[in-house]
Structure 1
Amino acid sequence: MDYLPVFLNLRGRLVLIVGGGEVALRKARLLHEAGARLRVVAPRIAPEFTDLTADLHRRPAQVDDLAPDVDLVVLATDAPKVQAALQAAARARRIWCNRCDEPAASDVVTGSVCDRSPILAGVISSGCPGLSRLLAARFDAVISPVIVDLARLLVELRPRVKAHFPTPAARAAFWRRWTTEAVIARLEREGLATIRQELEKELASPHDRNDL
C-alpha cells in the first residue's frame, strides 16, 4: 500500500496555498468546503479566490510564509525550483505539504472526492487523475439517496447508541444489525420513518449489560 488513507479535520485550520491559478483555485475550493481557513500567496491571483473569503497576498512566496500557525501547505505554482525550496522548508518546520506538480513527493494527496455527506469517499490512482475522477463518479452513482438518509439517521443517533450500549462489542453488534443490504432494501420499500421507529424502539428498551 503506497499511502495510508486518512481524512483530515481542517475546520478552522490555516492552509497556505502558494499559487493563484487554476490548479490552486481547484484545491482552494476543496479546502474551503472542508472548512479550512485559506491564505493565498502568489504574484497573480485569480479573481475567483475572493469568493472563498481567503487571505490574499499578491507577491512571490517566501520561506517565512510557512509560519507557525500554518497547518498544511499546498504548492501549486509552475516553478519547480520554488516548489522544491518551499517543500524542503515546510518539512524542516514539520508542516505537511501537498505538492501539485509531484504528488508522489507529497506528504498529503487529495485525489478525487465523492461527497454525499455524511458519506465521503476519496480516490487516488497514483498519478492518473482521470481514472480517479471516473472511480469517484462510480462511487457517487452507487450511493443512493436512501443510503444517505440511513447514514444521516445513524449519525444522529450515534450519541444515544454509545450511551445505551456499554461495551464496544455491543455497539459493534448494533451497527452490524443496522448496516446491511436487507436494511437498505427495507428502507427503499418502507421508508425512513419506519426504520427510525424501530431504531428508536431498540434504543428505548432495556439493555442487558451482560450481553456481549
Structure 2
Amino acid sequence: MPPPAPPGPVIAITGLRVLVVPASSGSAPSCAVGEQLLRPMAGTKWDLDFNTGAGGDYTYVCVERKAADSPISALLGFHTPSAAEPFGDCPANYAKVLGNSSAIGANDLNHGSLNQGAMFLCYQRGGAPIYNLAGLAGGGTAVSAAGCRLPGWEAITGPPAYPGVFNFDPAGVGLILCADRSAAAASAMRDLRDPPAHLA
C-alpha cells in the first residue's frame, strides 16, 4: 500500500466575519459554509465569545481561507468613543471586518455589552499573509500580558493613535488576539469539536 499523500499547503486567512448570536436565543454559533470559528490558543480557556464576562450578546469571529483570494496581511483593533457612534472609520488603508448581516451593529464586537463604545476589527491586504489567528483570554489583564506566548506569534494592536496590544474585552475577562505568519502553527490552537462552555 502506498504511503498517504503529504498534506497540502496551508492557506492563509483571506476573510473574517463577525457573528452575533442574541443572548436570548441560546443558539450555538454557526459560521457559513467554508468558515471556521476563531479558536483559542492551545492550553488556554476561552469560550470564543468576545463579550465573556461583559454581558450583551454573544459575538464571535468566523475565519475563511480561499486559495484564490488575496490574503489578509494586517489586523488592528478599533473602538469608537460610544456605542451611539458606530460609524467611526478604521485607519487609512484598512477596512472593517463585516458582520453576518447588513443590520447596523452586526459587526460590533461589543454588541450590547459593558465594553466601551462600538468595537471593530480592521484588516488590510497586500503584505506578508496571516496564516492563523487565535484568542488568548487574559483574566482582565490582557493588555499587559506577556505577548502571545509562542515564538513567531504577534499580538494584534490598536491603531496608531492608541498603540499597544489591543484588549478586545476590557470589561470582561480580557482578550487579545494572536496572529501567526509561519504557516506551521495550527497545533498551537485548541481543537473545537466541543461547543463553547456556555452552550455545552
Fold match by TM threshold 0.5: no
Q: Which has the higher strand share?
A: 2
Q: Which has the higher helix share?
A: 1
TM-score, scaled to structure 2: 0.24
Higher relative contact order (CA 8 A, sep 6+): 2
